[in-house]
Amino acid sequence: MSVTDEKKQAASGGGIAEAVKVVIHALILAVLVRTLLFQPFNIPSGSMKETLLIGDYLFVSKYAYGYSRFSLPFAPDLFSGRIWAGIPERGDIAVFKLPRDSSTDYIKRVIGLPGDRIQMIGGVLHINGEAVKRARIDDFVETTPGGHSIAVPRFRETLPNGVSYAILDLTPNGQADNTLEFRVPAGHYFMMGDNRDNSTDSRFPSVGFVPDENLIGRAEILFFSVDEGTRGWEFWRWPQTLRYDRLFTLLR
């Protein structure tokens, strides 16, 4: 082998090694960003309509509430509680691990804080014995994948701290529209979906109160959205399926 060939081979080997280093560094950076800063989530159900729709993709800030073992990939049992803990505010849209199944992520709205008393009466939310302000607004109209239009009664709900958002409530006598009073224990939160008749949340024993440790982060921005029934990676369908009016929408 000539000296020239040896130099070419060395350069080729060095180029491959450099490429491998770049890939490894990129993977480490991606893991750090996902673990410490922002984690992407997509919406698989309609429990948060109309705020979040099936086919929405969003970023959740991991640092907003600090870090627990559930902030780490595979949730290793390295420590308990939270470090650099932040306090959720009433009305936040939060992602959390289901208390009874830590492999499942849920996304709901923070309704009850530690010490609060929460109750549903005739479809109206009550916090600490006071009815939350609720005003009727225009119907939410959606088109099903089959082409049918459905109108659902929509209301503007305003929490005691001034956070306001739209909820859907088909009937005031749904399965969880009349409940006993829930007393939120210390270190826990009461979560509810905005689609009140189609949300499995803290009103049901399968979810219950959410421990502070189970919080993953706060939903910050909706960065991508496609029609229900469309896969996000089907880029050739984007001209027809992208929900352009929902792209890069803040969720505060």
Digit-coded pLDDT (tens) for 22-78: 777 566 655 555 666 678 999 999 999 999 999 999 999 998 998 888 887 766 777
Q: How far apart are CA 223 and CA 39, in angstroms?
A: 12
> What local confidence, expressed as pLDDT, does residue 6 receive?
47
Q: How many domains does the chain have?
A: 1
| pLDDT band (50, 70, 90) for residue 171 | confident
CATH number at residue 243: 2.10.109.10
Mean pLDDT computed over 98-118? 95
| Annotated active-site residue in 47, 68, 202, 225 | 47
Candidate list 68, 108, 199, 202, residue with the active-site label:
108
Indicate if the pLDDT at residue 3 is higher than 50.
Answer: no
> From CA 102, how far away is CA 71, in angstroms rounded?
12
What is the value of pTM for the model shown?
A: 0.83
Residue 9: domain span: 3-250
Q: Between residues 131 and 8, which one has the greater pLDDT?
A: 131
- Confidence (pLDDT) at 192: 98
Query: Does the annotation mark 47 as catalytic?
Result: yes
The position carrying tokens 């673990």 is 35
Query: Is residue 180 over pLDDT 90?
Result: yes
74 vs 84, residue with greater confidence: 84
**Token code pair at residue 76:** 């290793």
Average pLDDT over residues 180-204: 97
Neighbours of 142 (CB within 10 A): 16
pLDDT at residue 110 in the model: 98
State yes or no: is 49 an active-site residue: no
